[in-house]
C-alpha cells in the first residue's frame, strides 16, 4: 500500500520467499485485534494474504485490500475463499462497513496519513476499532542513513520525495488519530531487531523495500551503492546468524 507517487514495484514472489517475517511478526498484532466470530474486518495492506487467512480461520468475514495488484492476485490464488481487492489506503471507498480495520506493516507507506485515517474512520461502524502496527520513528535509520551517505559519496543527493516512508512518533500519530475522530486507547513504540534471510539479506531488503531511494541511478551505480552500504554496515548489523535490520515499530488502537 502507499501513495499514488510511489511506483508499484512489489515482487510478490520475493515478498513471500524472502520477507515472510512481515506476516510472521504480524501475529502479535492479530492477538491485539482479538477478532470475534462473525465480525466484518478489513485487512488494509494485506500483502499476499497470510494474516487475512489467519483471521478467516477464526470465523470472521475478512476483506483484504492492497495497492499492489500483483500482491492481490497472489493472495487470491492462494486463498480463493477470501475476498481480496486492489485499492489505495489514502482513498478508501467504504462507509461504516466494518467492525474493525486491521493493518500490519502498511501505513508507513501511506502519505498523506490524514487521508488514510479519515478513510479508516469512515469505514468503521460506530464503536468499531482501528488496530495497526507499522514502522515508527527511527525505523531502519541505520540502514537509510548509510544509504544517504553513500548516495552523497557517489555525487547524488536524495530528494525528500524520494524517501518512500512515513515513520511517525507516537505523539505525532495519535494526535492525527484524535483529529480524525478516534479515541486512542493504546499506543506503543518499541525496538524490533529483525533478521533478514541469508548472506544477501540486506541487499534483498534494499531491493524489495528501499528501491525508491535508488531509482534515479542506473543499474551499475545502484549495485555499487548497495555494495558500499553492505561494506559499511557489516560490523554494525551483521551477526553470526546473518543480517539484522534495526526495525522500530508503533502499535495503536483507536475506537470510533
* Structural domains of the chain in order of their starting residue, each with its CATH number: 12-140+165-198+245-255 (3.40.50.150)
Q: What digits encode the pLDDT tens for the residues 229-256?
A: 999 999 999 999 899 999 999 999 999 9
Predicted pLDDT of residue 198? 87
**Residue tagged 500483483 (cell numbers):** 70
Q: What digits encode the pLDDT tens for the residues 40-59?
A: 999 999 999 999 999 999 99
Element (H, E) at 100: strand 98-104
The Cα–Cα gap between 67 and 4 comes to: 9
Which pLDDT band, with edges at 50, 70 and 90, does 159 fall under? confident
Q: How many CB atoms are located within 10 Å of the residue 60 CB?
A: 21
Q: How many CB atoms are located within 10 Å of the residue 80 CB?
A: 8
Predicted pLDDT of residue 12? 44
Amino acid at each position: 500500500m502507499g501513495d499514488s507517487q510511489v511506483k508499484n514495484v512489489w515482487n510478490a514472489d520475493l515478498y513471500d520467499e524472502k520477507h515472510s517475517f512481515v506476516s510472521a511478526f504480524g501475529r502479535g498484532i492479530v492477538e491485539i485485534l482479538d477478532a470475534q466470530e462473525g465480525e466484518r474486518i478489513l485487512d488494509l495492506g494485506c500483502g499476499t494474504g497470510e494474516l487475512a487467512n489467519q483471521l478467516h480461520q477464526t470465523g470472521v468475514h475478512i476483506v483484504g485490500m492492497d495497492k499492489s495488484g500483483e500482491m492481490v492476485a497472489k493472495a487470491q490464488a492462494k486463498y480463493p475463499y477470501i475476498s481480496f481487492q486492489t485499492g489505495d489506503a489514502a482513498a478508501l471507498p467504504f462507509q461504516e462497513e466494518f467492525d474493525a480495520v486491521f493493518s500490519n506493516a502498511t501505513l508507513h507507506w501511506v502519505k498523506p496519513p490524514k487521508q488514510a485515517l479519515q478513510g479508516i474512520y469512515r469505514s468503521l461502524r460506530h464503536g468499531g476499532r482501528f488496530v495497526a502496527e507499522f514502522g515508527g520513528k527511527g525505523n531502519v535509520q541505520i540502514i537509510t542513513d548509510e544509504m544517504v551517505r553513500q548516495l552523497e559519496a557517489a555525487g547524488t543527493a536524495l530528494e525528500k520525495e524520494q524517501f518512500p516512508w512515513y515513520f511517525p512518533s507516537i505523539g505525532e500519530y495519535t494526535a492525527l488519530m484524535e483529529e480524525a475522530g478516534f479515541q486512542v486507547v493504546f499506543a506503543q513504540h518499541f525496538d524490533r531487531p529483525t533478521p533478514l534471510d541469508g548472506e544477501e539479506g540486506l541487499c534483498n531488503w534494499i531491493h524489495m523495500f528501499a528501491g525508491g531511494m535508488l531509482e534515479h541511478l542506473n543499474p551499475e551505480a545502484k549495485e555499487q551503492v548497495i555494495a558500499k552500504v553492505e561494506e559499511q554496515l557489516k560490523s554494525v548489523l551483521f551477526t553470526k546468524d546473518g543480517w539484522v535490520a534495526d526495525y522500530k515499530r508503533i502499535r495503536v488502537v483507536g475506537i470510533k
